[in-house]
Structure 1
Amino acid sequence: MKKWYAVIGDPIGHSLSPFMHEQWFEEHNIDAAYIPVHTEPFELEKVFHAMRTLGISGFNVTLPHKQAIIPLLDNLDETAIAMSAVNTVTFNGKRTTGWNTDGDGFVRSLMAKQPDLEGKVLVIGAGGAARGIAFALKKAGFDSVTITNRTFRRAEELAEAMNGNAVTLRDAELSLAEFSTIIQTTSVGLAEDEGLPLSLDHAAAGTLAADIIYNPLETPFLKAAEAKGCRTLNGIGMFVYQGAIAFEKWTGVSPDTEKMIRILTEKLGGTYVNR
């Protein structure tokens, strides 16, 4: 019987997940399909039960359902518990387990860019993505992780949860040269006229500046970082690696992530550079 998988979200038409997973199914001769399911918030429970009744083998969860899906699931992985968010669901019979692969996906992308990365890390933002990345960095052995956010109290709450540090945006701006890695996790940058989440005037040349946004491939934040002599990393690697981890959980197969990064980079109008 043909297996099927899905991604649910609102909106969902922009998602590249169906393209990516269908490519992987084809490459590995897996008889399966992956479809986008537009799910408005009031429909979430109905859609979840319908997919389970129809025999779905697993699905991804994107905005705005990463927290709302949790009460519907039978089990949560420890990472999903720590992050209070789920982006991947697996099935064991009818029983469901929620996972979050976002943070680990980002760390895989980061380490692919520079395997020997060390030093102090600054995370800009305190939302779900920042939370996942911060916990994944700690799990991967990064001891010095600092959180900054427009609303400082939220930065403090995340820092306290992960035994990290919190600084105001102003203090972060003035001390940027202390950080070897700066990670931008907010939605600022999806539009050209939104500006930057913080000033990069004090960033040191050679610092690795990462943005989790992948469309556009080069955000205003990355452009400003490059102008300061920083090395840059866009969000396409995080997107591919988080999807690969989900694919591995569903199928037991590890897909070719480097090839997919190339395909999606070129699909989005960029030029692929072998890292």
Structure 2
Amino acid sequence: MKQVYGVIGHPIAHSLSPAMHEAAFKECGIDGTYLAFEVKEEQVKQAIDGVRALGIKGLNVTIPHKVAVMEYLDEIDPVARQIGAVNTIVHKDNKLIGYNTDGQGYLQALLPVLPKALKDMRVLILGAGGAAKGVAVTMAMNGVKELVISNRTEKKANDLAEECSGLTNSSGLPISLAQARLTEFDLIINTTSIGMTPNVDQMPLSLEMIAKGVVVSDLIYTPSKTRWLKDAEARGAIIQNGLEMFVNQGALAFEKWTGQSAPRDVMSSKVKEKLGGLSC
């Protein structure tokens, strides 16, 4: 019997997850299908009830449901609990177990481009939403030297910094002060949607003051190189977009669902194909 997996979100029609996971199933010889389910905010409980009733084997969760699904699950992994969001659900032994693979997926993509160890890096994260939580907690858990969260709503930045304070030296910072202190950071991460297609002329922050050799990372991958990343590259920064994070978080979910190693190369190639051959 074909195993069913999927992703819930709103909106969801743009999702590349179905193509990526279908390619992985085919490569691994798994008789599975992966579907995108449009679920509005008031329908989350019914959607999770449907996962139980229909025997759906696994689910990804994307914006805006990563927090809301948590109250309807039987168990939540400690890392997901610490992050405060779930992006992967495993249906096993009649239980729904929630995980978060965003942070680890991001870390796996980031480590190969870093010029020095995480423990020696001062990190600035722009944004304080669901994606920022996964990245921030993972950075903190891996012992960065300093973690600073900057967000347009200062309270959200301070709250996220407080959540990370037991793991590393962390603080919140207004956007205006972050702009003034850019030279202090070794790694600057944009977790917001600013600069994403179609608003490609927007930037989350000016990079006029960055030091050469700093790492500038953008979780956006459409376009593959945002205006922000182009500006960073022109100023001598090491740049990275969000495509490999997307692939890695999906691969980690695949491994939790199936118990098999994910074919990351196949998954990455399929996503790039769907994006029109754009590279990372």
Quickly say closer, same or farther: Cα 1:193–1:258, change in 2 above 3 A. closer
Partner SS, residue 68 of structure 2: coil
**Pairing 1:135-154 to 2, within 5 Å after superposition:** 135-154=137-156
C-alpha displacement of 1:264: 2.2
Partner SS, residue 160 of structure 2: helix
Does the 8 Å contact 2:3/2:32 carry over to 1?
A: yes
- 2:188 aligned partner: 182
d(CA) in 2 for partners of 1:167 and 1:71?
31
Partner SS, residue 8 of structure 1: strand
- 1:216 aligned partner: 223
d(CA) in 2 for partners of 1:29 and 1:127?
37
- 1:227 aligned partner: 234
TM-score (norm 1): 0.93
Does the 8 Å contact 1:192/1:219 carry over to 2?
A: no
2:249 corresponds to which of 236, 242, 245 = 242
C-alpha displacement of 1:258: 3.8
Does the 8 Å contact 2:16/2:274 carry over to 1?
A: no
d(CA) in 2 for partners of 1:145 and 1:9?
29
**Pairing 1:22-171 to 2, within 5 Å after superposition:** 22-114=22-114, 116-118=116-118, 119-163=121-165, 164-171=170-177
Q: Deviations over 1:101-134 (max 9, x none)?
A: 1111111110133374432111111111111101
C-alpha displacement of 1:55: 1.0
d(CA) in 2 for partners of 1:263 and 1:43?
31
Does the 8 Å contact 2:114/2:215 carry over to 1?
A: no
Q: Deviations over 1:206-243 (max 9, x none)?
A: 11111111112111221221222211100101100000
The alignment's C-alpha RMSD in Å is 1.7
Does the 8 Å contact 2:23/2:270 carry over to 1?
A: no
Does the 8 Å contact 1:212/1:238 carry over to 2?
A: yes
- In structure 1, stretches of 5+ residues that fail to align are none
- In structure 2, stretches of 5+ residues that fail to align are none
> Number of residues paired by the alignment?
273
Instruction: For CA contacts below 8 A with separation 6 or more, give which structure has more relative contact order.
Output: 2
Deviates more, 1:216-225 or 1:25-34: 216-225
d(CA) in 1 for partners of 2:242 and 2:176?
25
d(CA) in 2 for partners of 1:79 and 1:243?
17
C-alpha displacement of 1:94: 1.6
d(CA) in 2 for partners of 1:9 and 1:188?
20
TM-score (norm 2): 0.91
C-alpha displacement of 1:51: 2.5
Does the 8 Å contact 1:60/1:88 carry over to 2?
A: yes
- 2:179 aligned partner: 173
d(CA) in 1 for partners of 2:216 and 2:247?
19
C-alpha displacement of 1:265: 2.8
Does the 8 Å contact 1:3/1:31 carry over to 2?
A: yes
d(CA) in 2 for partners of 1:153 and 1:43?
29
- For residue 171 of structure 1, what is the amino acid of its counterpart? L
- For residue 202 of structure 1, what is the amino acid of its counterpart? M
Does the 8 Å contact 1:173/1:201 carry over to 2?
A: no
Does the 8 Å contact 2:224/2:278 carry over to 1?
A: no
C-alpha displacement of 1:150: 1.4
Q: Among the aligned pairs, what percent are the same residue?
A: 43
Partner SS, residue 192 of structure 1: coil
Residues 1:201 and 2:208 aligned together = yes
